[in-house]
Chains A and B, each alone.
Chain A
Amino acid sequence: MMPTDAELVASALRGSEEAFRELVVRFERPVYALILRMVREPETAEDLAQEVFVKAFRRLSSYDPRRKFASWLFKVAHNATIDHLRRSELDTVPLAAEQEDGEGGLLAVLADAAAESPAAAAERRDMARALERAIAGLRSEYREAVLLRYVEGLAYQEICEVLALPIGTVKTNLHRARKELADAMRAAGWAPAAGRTAPVAETPRGGQP
């Protein structure tokens, strides 16, 4: 039977390196994905994700096992990301399309991930890219709430703990974010028309069929 996160934390606190490695392996993808979608630079995201795990390792004793480990870890990731964005002021600088699509860019990384499924239809890939672009266009606080809620599946209360915001604010942010996302998708030509969701204006980019 797989040990729970809390059990792994307890083992790591007793000095088990293997237990901490297991925690890293369990959470490397969600933490990296969240940070990458926030900072939009794969190299920076990797550095920050490493920093998050090293910090978590050093402060593991401050983790309260009554809470969900993922929430605690996302909180560390949130702090590292926000500190980085404030330092570099990337928060308000939207990336140019070439920069996003270029080698090593966010969309290139996502395309690599998508390449795991060779049968994926071009239309669906385009839709995923359009969604990623719409998410990237959201304000940082909306984007993070959307990712935590809909991608990582955190409950409202857990998001409140991660973002240190009252529940009302989190709900407001999510509601507004959803509206903005829907508007962006409609503006990109993804409005449902006669029962299908094919793009009207969106054209494949970056050599995708």
Chain B
Amino acid sequence: MPPTQPPPDALARWLAAESSGFDDAAEAALAELLVELPRPVPPAGFAERVMAQALPASRRRQLARRTWRWCAALGPAVATATLLLLYPVWLPAVAPAISTLLRAASIARWLKAGIEAVTAAGQGLALLASVADKLLLLFRAVAEPLASPSVAILAGAGLLVSVVALRLLYDLAQRDRRWVHADPI
């Protein structure tokens, strides 16, 4: 018998089992019936199209990963080797520029720049400290009422409700892909 033909008596057995309420027999007969249904076949060349679509992205990712690894491993060595190899070329060009820079600079100017940088950093730190102070004040103001048990209980309950609400929201988002929510037997 060709595989696409449903068994001759499976339908009768299934319908009879359904009518009589024999679940197991009904399941078996229906499975027998359905498994023999002609199974649609994807159009020719489906696997090739999938591979053509899937592989370029994967190859690009692999290539990028490999390139990055090689760059990270060899980059510094190549840069050093290049600098050393081109030493006679770059030193005569760079050395005068560096010496000009050094000649133009004076100790007083370096000192002034250093002091300005330290002052700016100090001001930044002071600003941060004042913000931290205000935050601390805020925390104290919030924490003070929590010292009383009733407020602490209220706050705890609020926190609990928030956690439960978050959990429910998460569940709803997760269930988005379910078809229905039928009552279980």
Chain A interface size, under 10 / 10 to 19 / 20 to 34 / 35 or more? 35 or more
- Classify the secondary structure of A's interface with B: helix
Complex: A179 Cα to B180 Cα, angstroms: 18
Instruction: Tell me whether B41 and A121 are in contact (CB under 8 A).
Output: no
Instruction: Select which of B8, B34, B54, B179 is within 8 A of A58 by beta carbon.
Output: B54
Asked if A178 meets B11 with Cβ closer than 8 Å, knowing A24-B50, A78-B177, A164-B178, the reply is no
Whether B134 sits at the interface, judged by CB under 8 Å, is no
Whether B112 sits at the interface, judged by CB under 8 Å, is no
Instruction: Select which of B2, B50, B57 is within 8 A of A117 by beta carbon.
Output: B2
Q: How far is the CB of B8 from chain A (nearest CB, A)?
A: 8
Q: How far is the CB of B180 from chain A (nearest CB, A)?
A: 5
Instruction: Tell me whether B31 and A28 are in contact (CB under 8 A).
Output: no
Complex: A166 Cα to B184 Cα, angstroms: 8
Complex: A57 Cα to B23 Cα, angstroms: 39
In this complex, what residue of A is CB-closest to B38?
A113
User: What residues on B are CB-neighbors of A58 within 8 Å?
Assistant: 54, 57-58
Within residues 103 to 146 of chain A, which ones have a CB less than 8 A from any CB in chain B? 106, 109-114, 116-117, 119-121, 124, 127-128, 131-132, 135, 139-141, 144, 146
User: What residues on A are CB-neighbors of B184 within 8 Å?
Assistant: 166-169, 171-172
The segment from A64-72, A93-101, A182-190, A201-209 that touches chain B is A182-190
Within residues 39 to 64 of chain B, which ones have a CB less than 8 A from any CB in chain A? 39-43, 46-47, 49-51, 53-55, 57-58, 62
Whether B30 sits at the interface, judged by CB under 8 Å, is yes
User: What residues on A are CB-neighbors of B67 within 8 Å?
Assistant: none
Instruction: Select which of A114, A132, A167, A175 is within 8 A of B23 by beta carbon.
Output: A175
Whether A90 sits at the interface, judged by CB under 8 Å, is no
Whether B69 sits at the interface, judged by CB under 8 Å, is no
Complex: A20 Cα to B57 Cα, angstroms: 14
User: What residues on A are CB-neighbors of B179 within 8 Å?
Assistant: 82, 139-141, 144, 163, 165
In this complex, what residue of A is CB-closest to B175?
A164
In this complex, what residue of B is CB-closest to A145?
B179
Complex: A179 Cα to B185 Cα, angstroms: 15
In this complex, what residue of A is CB-closest to B7?
A124
The segment from B13-21, B135-143, B148-156 that touches chain A is B13-21
Instruction: Tell me whether B5 and A124 are in contact (CB under 8 A).
Output: yes
Instruction: Select which of A120, A139, A167 is within 8 A of B5 by beta carbon.
Output: A120
Within residues 139 to 185 of chain B, which ones have a CB less than 8 A from any CB in chain A? 174-175, 177-185
Complex: A166 Cα to B23 Cα, angstroms: 20
Within residues 18 to 40 of chain B, which ones have a CB less than 8 A from any CB in chain A? 18-19, 23, 26-27, 30-31, 33-35, 37-40
In this complex, what residue of B is CB-closest to A166?
B184
The 15 listed contacts between A and B (C-beta, < 8 Å) are A25-B47, A28-B50, A33-B39, A50-B46, A58-B58, A128-B4, A128-B38, A131-B33, A150-B30, A151-B35, A153-B35, A169-B182, A191-B15, A197-B8, A197-B11
Q: A24-B47, A128-B4 given. 18 additional CB < 8 A pairs?
A: A24-B46, A25-B47, A29-B39, A57-B50, A78-B177, A109-B40, A114-B4, A117-B2, A117-B4, A131-B34, A135-B34, A139-B179, A169-B181, A172-B183, A179-B18, A182-B18, A197-B11, A197-B12
